[in-house]
């Protein structure tokens, strides 16, 4: 604090903040405060620095600003005598970090009264003990309430995501169980057919040839090309006719399996040549079992792969096995979030991703960014009421030092009268019991305060965009929200 001039008690009484104080209190303030002039353009105090002064405007014009992504964003501007700022929480002492929450700039030459926070805070508690207790209760009560509701929202989101993940895991797990049960039967039948083939009627050379055909059948089953329903039907007719001509019983039961395994007539002719007509039916049935077992193992492999992918997405989403602050690929976070939210997105909503894969990795709190994507996607889905298009686009910001993640929906839009309040805590347009009003507030704090980024909103009916801007450069890790 720079020395200036002293104000008289009567001059202090002219400031609305002090007009009701008695003479003793005004004398105390007069003896300790300095009226200091700051030239236009200078900072009276700076955000983040130790809050050493309580500041009251005497004359001139000042502006309050916050640092967002390296830029000073002006919050308000005033020339009203008596307005105050600076160490406004000095009365709380060491219960909260005593830092300036914003920056005050002198727009014109401005004179302010500067009171030492270390003395002003304690004396305010002495002068107005009941009022200070009420303010203290309000401050900590609101903070605890915010934290409790925010934690409740996280738990509700986690419960919803867990239910969705359980549903997603259940489908491939059930498929694997079913395929395993059928596979057990098919392997048993395969052993039986092999015993019939190898009961002495085939010499070693023919048996060896059959085994080679079996290996070919396995490869065909593993590399069966996709075909249309009409092509499959035609192929089944052709294979069925061939089996009928060679007196193979149950031809129309065997044909679909052979076609599913990629079998064609030339291969069946090779089987007939190697085995002979007498042993053709047991050989074909044994090869059918071979194809079925391979297809079933493919189903199991696919199901297990899906389960592994879901577990991997859950780990990516939660980041439980990683440090909180790390360098991440934003596309991996978005994909993991979409997988986790898949069960919550109605069939009538189409999800479109338009990623710039050339974007660099960024330093971030990965799990908390996933919470941002969850909130924005969930809001977009809710706004479309079951049908529409959700589009997620990533790109390099025009200034070149940030990337953007744009989440757009074709929902009803945000009314102009509501838009200024959407980031306010506890403000929600959802019915009672369906929203806490903290989703966007939490998202804002994660993006702006923890990542020094920004969230921009542009909305009209049928086209709403939430654009998250994140810096490419590493920022100093912020304290927990």
Domain ranges of the chain: 9-127, 162-310, 324-471
pLDDT, averaged per 10 consecutive residues of the chain (481 residues), comes to: 79 87 90 91 88 90 76 77 83 78 89 89 82 72 65 60 65 75 73 60 59 71 75 86 86 84 81 73 79 79 71 60 74 87 86 93 87 88 91 91 94 79 60 51 82 88 92 59 41
Task: Supply the pLDDT for residue 75.
Answer: 75
**Integer Cα distance of 438 and 139 in angstroms:** 18
Say which residues have a Cβ less than 8 Å from residue 263's Cβ, sequence separation at least 6: 217, 220, 239, 291
Nearest to 340 by CA among 368, 305, 312: 312
**Integer Cα distance of 238 and 265 in angstroms:** 8
Task: Supply the pLDDT for residue 283.
Answer: 77
User: CATH assignment of 324-471?
Assistant: 3.30.565.10
Rg (CA), the chain: 36
CATH H-level, domain 9-127: superfamily? Jelly Rolls (2.60.120.10)
Task: Supply the pLDDT for residue 316.
Answer: 60
Which phi and psi (to 5°) does residue 291 adopt? -65, -45
Tokens matching residue 227: 């075909």
CA 140-145-147 angle, to 5 degrees, is 95
Task: Supply the pLDDT for residue 390.
Answer: 95
**Integer Cα distance of 61 and 109 in angstroms:** 7
Report helix angle 280-318 to 330-341, nearest 10: 110
Q: Which contiguous run of DSSP H or E holds residue 43?
A: strand 43-45
**Integer Cα distance of 356 and 358 in angstroms:** 5
Question: What are the Cα distances from residue 48, in Å, to 30, 51, 103?
Answer: 28, 8, 8
Q: Which residues on adjacent β-strands are paired with residue 50?
A: 99
Enter the DSSP assignment of 104.
Answer: E
Task: Supply the pLDDT for residue 351.
Answer: 94
Enter the DSSP assignment of 448.
Answer: I
Q: Which residues on adjacent β-strands are paired with residue 144?
A: none
pTM of the model: 0.46
Task: Supply the pLDDT for residue 65.
Answer: 85
Nearest to 381 by CA among 412, 406, 355: 412
Say which residues have a Cβ less than 8 Å from residue 278's Cβ, sequence separation at least 6: 201
**Integer Cα distance of 470 and 359 in angstroms:** 12
Task: Supply the pLDDT for residue 410.
Answer: 94
Task: Supply the pLDDT for residue 480.
Answer: 38
Pairing of strands 388-396, 349-354: parallel
Tokens matching residue 52: 């050493």
């Amino acid at each position: 604090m720079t020395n200036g001039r002293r104000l008289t008690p009567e001059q202090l009484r002219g400031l609305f903040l002090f007009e009701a104080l008695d003479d003793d209190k005004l004398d105390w303030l007069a003896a300790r405060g300095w009226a200091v002039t700051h030239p236009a353009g200078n900072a009276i105090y700076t955000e983040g620095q130790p809050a050493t002064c309580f500041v009251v405007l005497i004359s001139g014009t000042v502006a309050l600003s916050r640092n967002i992504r390296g830029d000073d964003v002006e919050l308000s501007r005033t020339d009203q005598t008596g307005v105050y700022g600076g160490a406004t929480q000095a009365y709380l002492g060491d219960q909260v970090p005593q830092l300036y929450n914003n920056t005050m700039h002198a727009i014109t030459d401005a004179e302010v009264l500067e009171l030492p926070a270390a003395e002003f805070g304690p004396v305010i508690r002495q002068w107005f003990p009941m009022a200070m207790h009420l303010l203290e209760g309000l401050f900590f009560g609101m903070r605890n309430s915010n934290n409790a509701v925010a934690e409740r929202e996280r738990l509700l989101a986690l419960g919803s995501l867990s239910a969705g993940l359980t549903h997603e895991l259940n489908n491939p797990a059930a498929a694997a169980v079913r395929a395993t049960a059928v596979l057990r039967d098919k392997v048993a039948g395969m052993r039986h057919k092999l015993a019939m083939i190898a009961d002495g009627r085939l010499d070693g050379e023919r048996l060896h040839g059959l085994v080679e055909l079996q290996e070919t059948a396995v490869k065909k089953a593993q590399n069966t090309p996709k075909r249309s329903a009409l092509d499959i039907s035609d192929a089944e007719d052709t294979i069925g006719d061939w089996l009928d001509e060679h007196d193979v019983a149950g031809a129309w039961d065997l044909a679909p399996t052979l076609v599913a395994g990629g079998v064609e007539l030339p291969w069946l002719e090779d089987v007939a040549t190697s085995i002979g007509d007498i042993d053709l039916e047991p050989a074909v049935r044994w090869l059918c079992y071979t194809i079925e077992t391979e297809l079933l193992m493919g189903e199991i492999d696919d199901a297990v792969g899906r389960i592994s992918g879901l577990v991997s997405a859950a780990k990516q989403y939660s980041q439980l096995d990683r440090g909180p602050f790390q360098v991440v690929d934003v596309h991996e976070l978005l994909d993991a979030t979409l997988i986790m939210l898949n069960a919550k997105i109605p069939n009538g909503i189409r999800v479109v991703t338009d990623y710039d894969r050339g974007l660099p990795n960024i330093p971030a709190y990965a799990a908390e960014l996933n919470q941002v994507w969850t909130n924005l996607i969930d809001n977009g889905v809710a706004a479309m009421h079951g049908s529409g298009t959700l589009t997620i686009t990533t790109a390099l910001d025009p200034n070149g030092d940030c990337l953007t993640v744009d989440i757009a929906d074709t929902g009803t839009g945000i009314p102009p009268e509501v838009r200024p309040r959407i980031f306010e805590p506890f403000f929600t347009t959802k019915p009672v019991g369906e929203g806490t009003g903290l989703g966007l507030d939490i998202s804002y704090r994660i993006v702006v305060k923890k990542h020094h980024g920004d969230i921009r909103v542009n909305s009209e009916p049928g086209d709403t965009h939430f654009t998250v801007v994140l810096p490419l450069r590493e920022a100093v890790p912020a304290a927990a929200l």
